[in-house]
Structure 1
Amino acid sequence: MNEGDSVLMNELGPRICILGPSNAGKSTLAHTIACANDLMCVHLDQLRHIPGTPWTLRDDEAFQALHDAAIAEDRWVMEGNYSRLLPQRLARATGLIVLDVSTGTSLLRYVRRCLGGGPRIGGIGATRDPVRWAMLMHIIGPTRAGRRRYAEVFAQSALPKRYISG
C-alpha cells in the first residue's frame, strides 16, 4: 500500500460502503481494502443469497438481520447495493466509494468472469457461475438506472467519498 492509499483509508475511516453497477469491481476492491486495512469484508450478495445455491434468495427478514448485524460491527468494508437497506448502511458508514463502469464493460466482465475459472471473490458458490440470460438483461436494463441512483447518492452524501470511473 502506498502513501496515497494510506491517506485515502484514513479519510474514509473504518466502515466503508462500496456501491456501483454489476461487475464494476466492487467485490475485488472490497476484498483488497479489507486485506490491506484489517477490516471485515462483507459481500452483500453472500448475505442476500443462500450459499451453495443457484442464487436462491434468503427471505427479507433473514437478509435484513444479517445486514444489520454486519453494519453493527466496528470495522468493515461492505460492497453491494440493495437499496432498501442503504439508508441504515450509510448511517453507519464512515466513508463511501462509488464505482462506475460502462454497460459494455459490465457485460464484458460478466461474461469473462463466467467463462473464466473457479469461484469469484464475493460469489456464493464453490464453482464459477454460468452465463445467465437474466443477468445479461439485468446489466443492460436495471443496472443502467442504478448508475444514476449511485451518482445521486454520491452527490448527496456528506461522508468522505471517492467516485471511481473506468
Structure 2
Amino acid sequence: MQPLASLGERIVILGPSNAGKSTLALALSAKLGLPAVHLDQLQHLPGTDWQPRSEAEFKALHDAAIEKDQWVMEGNYSRLMPQRLARATGIILITSSPWLRIGRYLKRTLINRADRAGHLEGARDSIKWEMIHWILVKTRDSDKKYAEIVRASGLPAVECHTARALNELYRVWGLSSPVMKPEARGTPNPGS
C-alpha cells in the first residue's frame, strides 16, 4: 500500500455511490489538515431533496475548488474528471459490494443525520428507488471503469476493493472516524 504522504496535497477519492468516499474524505481532512470537498454538495442546492444546480454553476464551483492548492475531493462526475485529475497529486479508489452499499444508503437515509459525512446542508434525505436502481444496476461495473481511470492517470494511487481493504487503509494510515463540527450536530454556528 502506498504511504499516505505519497498522495500529496490534492487527493481525489473515486468510487461508486455509498462506498464510503465522504467519510474517508473527512478522515483524511482531519489527519492531513486539508479541506474536504464533497462534489455532491457542489452539484446540489442546499436545503433541497438533492435538486441539482445548473451545469454551468456546478462546473464553476468545481473548477474554483480544484484551483486551490490543497484539498481532499470526493465524488465522481466523470464529465469533469479530466480537469480534476490534471490538478490532483494522488488518487484513492474505494469500491465494495452493491449489497453493502445498499445497506449504507438505507441506513444513512432512514437515520437521516445532519452530521453525516457529505450531507447536503438543510436537506432531508428520502429513499429514492432511482438511487437503489443506480446502486444495484447502473453502477454495477463502475469499479472496473474507475480502476481503468486510476491506472491511466499515472498518479500515485491506492485501490481498496473490499470493506476489509478500506478498514485496513484506515488502520495503516492511522485514520479515525471524523469528528463532526459542533454546527453539524445542531449547535448554532456563530459565524452564520
TM-score normalized with structure 2 length? 0.80
How many residues align? The count is 161
- Corresponding residue for residue 52 of structure 2: 57
Unaligned stretches of 5+ residues in structure 2: 163-192
Q: What is the correspondence of 1:32-111 to structure 2 with a 5 Å cutoff?
A: 32-111=27-106
Deviation at 1:131, TM superposition (A): 1.4
CA RMSD of superposed structures (Å)? 1.5
The letter for the 2-side match of 1:20 is: G
Answering whether residue 142 of structure 2 is matched by residue 158 of structure 1, we say no
Q: Percent identity of the aligned residues?
A: 49
Equivalent AA in structure 2 for residue 129 of structure 1: D
Deviation at 1:125, TM superposition (A): 3.5
1:112 to 107, 132, 140: 107
Q: Deviations over 1:42-89 (max 9, x none)?
A: 000000000110111101110010000000000000000000000000
> How far apart are 1:117 and its partner, in Å?
4.5
SS of the residue 1:27 aligns to = helix
Q: 1:82, 1:139 → 2: CA distance?
A: 15
* Stretch deviating more after TM superposition (112-121 or 81-90): 112-121
Deviations 1:90-124 (A, max 9, x none): 00000000001011111111111112241221121
1:125 aligns with 2:113: no
Partner of 1:134: 130
1:23 paired to 2:18: yes
CA contact (8 A) 1:19 1:150 kept: yes
- Kept in 2, the 8 Å contact 1:118–1:127? The answer is no
1:144 alignment partner, SS class: coil
Moved over 6 A (4+): none
Could you say which residue in structure 1 is the equivalent of 2:143? 147
SS at match of 1:136: helix
Aligned with residue 14 of structure 1, among 9, 15, 18: 9
Q: Give unmatched runs, 5+ long, in structure 1.
A: none
Q: Which amino acid aligns with 1:144?
A: R
Normalization by structure 1: what TM-score? 0.92
> 1: distance between equivalents of 2:130 and 2:111?
19
Task: Determine the C-alpha separation between the residues in 1 that align with 2:142 and 2:124.
Answer: 25
Q: Distance in 2 between matches of 1:53 and 1:128?
A: 7
